[in-house]
Structure 1
Amino acid sequence: MAAEADIESGDAAPDKKKLPIMLIAMVAAAVVLLGGGAASYFLFFSAPPKQDTHLEGVHETFIFNLPAMTVNLRGDGDRSQFMKLTVALEVANEEVMTEIQPRMAKVVDAFQVYLRELRKSDLEGSAGIYRLKEELRRRVNIAIFPAQVDSILFKEILVQ
């Protein structure tokens, strides 16, 4: 009987060691399941993020298309050169668009006078196109003052 008691007490010790390990494993499994459930809830059921969160300060602009213009460039020799240009004006709101419409003749005239003085060499490279864009913006803003154009957008530039 004493031997049986020793055997029983020896068997009880490993069962007591298994109990805390099993308890820790169950708690870890519950944490993993709860964490996975919470992650899947937030991933699938939460509201999608706003699309324009990074564009809060950006305002909507309007585009005003001008008719295509073809002008003769100032030539260096006997061969004539011309440029075909299609431009759009970017404005802040519709009120500016309505202010521009009655003054379109002044805008086109300002563009034609300036463009006829250009040479083909004035339009070479990105620096030439940038200077053209800024000069056209300056001239249109003078023609439509007090209204202002935000930017000039080139739709087509052909120099031949």
Structure 2
Amino acid sequence: MSAKPAKAATAEGEAAPKGGKRKLVLLAAPIALAAIGGGLWFSGVLPGLLGGGAHEAPSEHAEAPPAPPVFFDMPEIVANLNAPGRRTSYIRLRSKLELARPDDAAAVQAAMPRLLDLYTTYLREMRPEELRGSAGTQRLREELIARASLAAAPARITDVLFTEILLQ
């Protein structure tokens, strides 16, 4: 009698690991398939195999590539800054305006007195601390773009490029 219960315990012990391995395989297989599918999708292999638009025919109504930007040279601007104390600080600024279309150059040239006035009055209100570092230069760029767009209203100014900024 004692032999039979030992055999039953061994049979139960062997059955338990087989069930655990089967569960592990059933859980790991979908996870592995999902990982492989995700890898193929993000690498671009799977969309190409499924015909996901990688080889689309060019449309007859496709837009023409955008025209290259036009750069407009601004005159040099020298202005005194709003510096506290007795010592005055100056800024010398040379820049270029990036225009969206070549036709905008005429509008910018016509608005040049207003543009120089807006730039100079803005620079005179700035403190030297506000211009230090890349964050100060970026703020200056954004403000000058806004003022240039305002002064040359029909023209579209896309960027202000600094060729020289000198603080003294």
TM-score (norm 1): 0.63
1:124 pairs with 2:132:
yes
Structure number with greater Rg is 1
Structure 1 residue runs of 4+, over 3 Å off? 56-59
Equivalence for 2:147: 139
- TM-superposed CA distance for 1:75, in Å, is 1.1
- Deviations along 1:57-85, one digit per CA (max 9) or x if unpaired, are 45301100011111000111100100000
Equivalence for 1:61: 69
Structural RMSD (CA): 1.2
1:99 pairs with 2:107:
yes
Unaligned runs of 5+ in 2: 1-63
Equivalence for 2:78: 70
> The residue matched to 1:59 in structure 2 has which SS?
coil
Alignment partners' CA distance in 2, 1:64 and 1:77? 37
Equivalence for 1:109: 117
Unaligned runs of 5+ in 1: 1-55
- Deviations along 1:14-71, one digit per CA (max 9) or x if unpaired, are xxxxxxxxxxxxxxxxxxxxxxxxxxxxxxxxxxxxxxxxxx8453011000111110
Alignment partners' CA distance in 1, 2:114 and 2:81? 20
Equivalence for 2:39: none
- TM-superposed CA distance for 1:92, in Å, is 1.6
Alignment partners' CA distance in 2, 1:88 and 1:112? 15
- TM-superposed CA distance for 1:146, in Å, is 2.1
How many pairs were matched up? 105
- Deviations along 1:109-154, one digit per CA (max 9) or x if unpaired, are 0000100000000001100000000000001101111211010000
> The residue matched to 2:157 in structure 1 has which SS?
coil
TM-score (norm 2): 0.60
